[in-house]
């Protein structure tokens, strides 16, 4: 059974309450420390633990705009798989910030 993404409970509660948020998701070797530096000012911040599959988690992103921030040099194929997974979880728009590429993706 999948577990909630780290720091995802707040965003899940907001979505269930009918709100749509802009969420920040950090990934890569410094993801946790970067995410924690944004909390509690931006409680819609989540992170993918380093060396962990995004498929292991439920990401509460339905209807949300996402900023996906790579804190290391993750491969473009890994990033694209993560983006696809976030769209499958219901994200509406994703901006990826990475040394590999900086692109905007819209669910179609």
Residue-wise pLDDT tens digits, 54-93: 999 999 999 999 999 999 988 989 999 999 999 999 999 9
Q: Where are the domains of the chain?
A: 3-106
Cis previous bond, 40, omega within 30: yes
Lowest model confidence (mean pLDDT) among 43-47, 55-59, 99-103: 99-103
Q: Edge-to-edge strand order for the sheet containing 93-97?
A: 45-47, 22-27, 65-70, 93-97, 103-106
Category of 75 on φ-ψ map: left (φ > 0), alpha (ψ -120 to 50) or beta: beta
For tokens 């040394």, name the residue.
Answer: 99
DSSP string over 19-54: ---EEEEEESTTHHHHHHHHTTTSTTEEE--TT--G
Of the candidate CATH numbers 1.10.10, 3.40.630, 1.20.58, 3.40.1360, the domain formed by 3-106 belongs to 3.40.1360
Confidence at 106, pLDDT banded by 50, 70, 90: low
Distances (CA, A) of 75 to 15, 16, 27, 28: 30, 33, 11, 10
Q: Is the pTM of this model over 0.85?
A: yes
Whether 9 shows a pLDDT value over 80: the answer reads yes
Give the pLDDT band (50/70/90) at residue 2: confident
Structure-block tokens of residue 106? 């819209």
Q: Which of 23, 29, 30 is nearest to 9 (CA)?
A: 23
């Amino acid at each position: 059974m999948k577990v909630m993404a780290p720091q995802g409970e707040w965003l899940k509660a907001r979505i269930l309450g009918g709100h749509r948020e802009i969420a920040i998701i950090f990934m890569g070797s410094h993801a946790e420390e970067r995410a924690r530096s944004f909390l509690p000012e931006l409680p819609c911040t989540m992170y993918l633990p380093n060396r962990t599959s995004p498929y292991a988690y439920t990401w509460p992103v339905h209807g949300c705009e996402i900023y996906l921030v790579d804190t290391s040099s993750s491969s473009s194929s890994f990033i694209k798989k993560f983006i696809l997974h976030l769209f499958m979880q219901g994200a509406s728009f994703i901006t990826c910030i990475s040394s590999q590429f900086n692109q905007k993706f819209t669910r179609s």
